[in-house]
Structure 1
Amino acid sequence: MQAFEAFMDDLERVIRSAGDSGRGVLVGGDFNTRSPTWDPAVSNRRGELLERWAASCGVSLHNDGCTATCVRAQGSSVVDLTWSTPSLTPTVQQWRVLTERETLSDHLYITYEIRGPRRVKSGDGGGHARWNWRKFNAECFRESLDTCLAWGPTGEDQTTLAGLAAWVERTMTQACDAAAPRARTKSSNQEPRRLTRDRRAASGPHHDIEAEYRASKRRLRDSIKAAKAKAWEDLVGSVESNPWGIPYKLVLGRLRTASRGLTENLDSETLGRLLTALFPRGEGSVPVSQEDRSWNEG
């Protein structure tokens, strides 16, 4: 138990050190502890110590409190936990245990997404963020504020007036992001409106010329298709009247190529010498009969 408490103290120092530098921390692992907060089945001394540690650090738990993360023959338990500091809590979304995925281990896979808050460009709406208050969730807003206030400002955010003001602004922004989606700014519609105005301005003489060009192009394409279909019908119809004509040559690949073949360019004497050399005549060239031969496949 002393080793576990020492480990928790070291982890707390790391988390606070990261918080002093303005960084968020995400902690996940097999803590091998039991507590009704994340495991309704049973509790133990290590679970009580871990709950106190979480309260002192101000971290939030992302486990749903009912899905087992470790399944064994003796039973199931929730021992793999995921914690985050207040600055990261609103960004951790869709936390779930992959119960159907095979891991070749007693422990199951845990997956989640970290999504940063959407930034609003400085030129949009005068640089002020806006939220869709019709979809506002008061419970999420309160929970985000509670986690941020439990952690409190650290480092320069605590010692300087500007740092404290920045911390308050970040805290409120994170709480609003957790409670409601960002609203579209008025300036986001300026680009579509400009394109609409340009389209209307182009509906003059130039627009008429472009429309005529497109219509002519479409008529030409239809004419080419009709001509190809007519040529094919004529080719098929010529099979009956001239069976040894173009259809026959097309099928056998007998249409003359653009250039004459090598043998067509040679004179008869040269061609004869080549054929005699390639296919000599005489007694030595008579094929040997294979009827009296016996094959030995051994």
Structure 2
Amino acid sequence: MRRRGSLGKGLQAGDHELLNVRRKGAYGRIRYMPGIQKRPEKDETSVKEEEEILIRPVFFVRQTSIIVLLMESIKFLYTNAGRDRTVMDLLEQTVLERNIDILAVTEPNKNRVGTQGWITDKDKDVALRFCNGRMKFNGKGGGNGFAWARCGDIYIYTCYFSPNKEQEAFEIFLRSVDRDIRERTPEKILIVGDFNAKSPTWGAPRADLRGNSIEEWIAEKDLNVVNNGKPTFERNGSVSHIDITLCSRNLRDKITNWDVDEEENLSLHKNILFEVSRSKPRYGILRTGRGFGWHFNTPLLERAKEKLAESFNRIIPSTMTLEEFQRVLTDVCEATFPKRIKRRGRSAKYWWNDEIAEKRRVCIRLRREVTRTAKRRSQEDVDLKREEYKQGRRQLKQMILKAKEKCWKGLLDELNENVWGDAYKIAVKRVGGRQPPQIDERKRMEIAKSLFPEAANITWTKRRCTAEEVPPFGTEELQRAVDKY
């Protein structure tokens, strides 16, 4: 890896290094790069010049590398799965469709979260998973009803408390979570979970005992409620606000796009989606020929500089906002550089098909019809629409289970024909990895004979004997037989 000082060769004094990165969840910033160029000295006659320098970009390419400054956001998905495996299946599909980085689940299917990659509590009432392979956690743990993981400088907690337990047990649960947080003394805290508590603070019409307890705890810990007031739970036409998102005060401005998703997930709880911006900018090197955006190449740089200069001649740089500058730089790159081909990852689970996708859209439409009918029609019409919606959900579940069973049978059939096929790759967790070595039939026989050598033939002879020739059964032999048991 190059040292930062070696990247600045070729820059002129006073030039400002800036590159805009067009990527989902990332944006550029106007910033001086420490160690690459020095900030111009201030004096009374050069204040205006300095303002222009702060906004003037310089494209810099050296050895097919580009310095970039990334501000990334982390995409979260949370829901309560109700122990249903089909809910977990749809969650995994949503993770792929929405490019989710971190998945948090309360009441997950215990068999599904017992595999590697999940962070759970002792009873598997809550689970966390980092879905982005590039994102690593640097610490994890949990207690009764909660689990946590550390991502950078953010401690992420997932909590669940059963509605069937008493208020005294809820107070003990809150104290255990509070004790665990104090042991770690985190600067930034993010808490998502199903507390089965109600309060107007997060949208409920009235507060219950648990809601009052959480309100006091929120005030004590100086936390903020992120919920926007939308209900997170729906059953037979009644809605509740029992899933809560909390964060520390210094993290509130970094949480954006918090919303209750209307996508069908086969759970009584709705999916909650939001994003968290990274707290610190990350400097990196963008290699040409890989990654995202455009192909930056040296022959086109001069043309890009000319187009950029023309744009700045029409607009006063000192009055431009970051968004305006970003738009100008994007237009120049679009007009000058060829687009980089984006490599798409997996966008669907192995069992997903068009019929299931269409059925999910039908379920969403039926649920909206229930909501509209409840406002305008009689109770009989509402019950009829609600029954249609329930039937659609049952059919969607059956379609998912049948699709998975069909894929499983197809995998078994392929195993009989090709030992080194997908079944082998799944067994050794090498899906998409290297292909097995190609061995001819003669070599296979040699390997098999070396692993399983043929034993010498033994000829057994039969001989008739009389009762007198058989030795009597004694007490010692009986005792040895008893000792074996």
How does the TM-score come out when normalised to structure 2? 0.24
Larger fraction in helix: 1
Instruction: Say which one has the larger Rg.
Output: 1
How does the TM-score come out when normalised to structure 1? 0.38
